[in-house]
Amino acid sequence: MSSGFSGAGEGGRRAARRTVLDGTGEREVPLDILLLGPQGAGKGTQGKLISREYGIPHIATGEILRAAIAEGTELGRKAEPLLNAGRLVPDEIMIDLIRDRLAREDTEGGFVLDGFPRTAPQAEALDAMLNEIDRPLTVVFEFQLPEEICIQRLLRRAEEEGRADDTPDAIRTRLRLYHEQTAPLVEYYRARGILVPVHADRPVEEVFAEIQQALEQVAVR
């Protein structure tokens, strides 16, 4: 099988879709990317860069929830106390939210998912959704960063952005929940052979270069 990125994309500097040549001829497949890693590892920053470069939407569940809180929607009212305490929003709510978001047209060429899934039931629901439309994940990037550095980065962000859940207590809860509920998903995706580790303790440009290299590899896989 041979493949590669097609020419310049409409939305991004590159086309999100890959042209894949297999036994049935040439066809285009979407670039469905998942970012996994602890809070403060730089998923949001890299998600935005990937989105711009490949012209696919960056779907960050934390941002969606913060927007809902700012707008005072029903979702926002339910989510606000949980976010502020650094706790997780219930799986059913998050799964419905992602199902609606992935159904939108702008995800046709792919997406970069950041902050979902965070629990085993969310990962299983995502698989079921993507299987239904015969669209397995292309790649899962695992952002690796020592915990002390995550804490330092989150405390710095607290000073710069004043996020309600960047208080020391909420940070502790969020990192604990990451280790308990989200970190096991690394093995789940490793077993599927789609996990690519990223050394996240480096300047933004270097991390992005590593991601781009990995995406080129994926394109010729």
Contacts with ligand AMP by CB under 6 A lie at 39, 61-62, 65, 82-83, 86-89, 94, 115-116, 118, 122, 165, 174
Q: Closest CB to ligand AMP among 175 and 219? A: 175
CB of 87 to ligand AMP, least distance (A): 6
For ligand AMP, which is the closer residue by CB, 36 or 88? 88
Distances (CA, A) of 114 to 4, 72, 141: 25, 23, 10
Taking CB atoms, the residue at the shortest distance from ligand AMP is: 62
Question: Would you call 17 a catalytic residue per the annotation?
Answer: no
Give me the least distance between CB of 40 and ligand AMP, in Å please: 9
Least separation in angstroms between residue 17's CB and ligand AMP is 26
If the CB atoms of residues 118 and 153 are measured against ligand AMP, the closer one turns out to be 118
**172 in active site:** no
- Do 115 and 62 form a contact (C-beta atoms < 8 A)? yes
Is the CB of 6 or the CB of 87 nearer to ligand AMP?
87
**What HEC string does the chain produce?**
CEEEECCCCCCCCCCCCEEEEECCEEEEECEEEEEECCCCCCHHHHHHHHHHHHCCCEEEHHHHHHHHHHHCCHHHHHHHHHHHHCCCCCHHHHHHHHHHHHCCHHHCCEEEEECCCCCHHHHHHHHHHHHHCCCCCCEEEEEECCHHHHHHHHHHHHHHHCCCCCCHHHHHHHHHHHHHHHCHHHHHHHCCCCEEEEECCCCHHHHHHHHHHHHHHHHCC
The residue type found at 59 is I
Q: Looking at 43, 135, 190, 202, which residue is catalytic?
A: 43
Catalytic residue among 135, 163, 190, 202: 163
Decide if 43 is catalytic.
yes
Catalytic option among 118, 172, 190, 202 = 118
Residue 174 known to be catalytic = yes
Q: How far is the CB of 115 from ligand AMP (least distance, A)?
A: 3
Q: Is 78 a catalytic residue?
A: no
Nearer to ligand AMP, 18 or 58 (CB): 58
CB of 153 to ligand AMP, least distance (A): 12
Which sequence positions are flagged as catalytic? 43, 118, 157, 163, 174
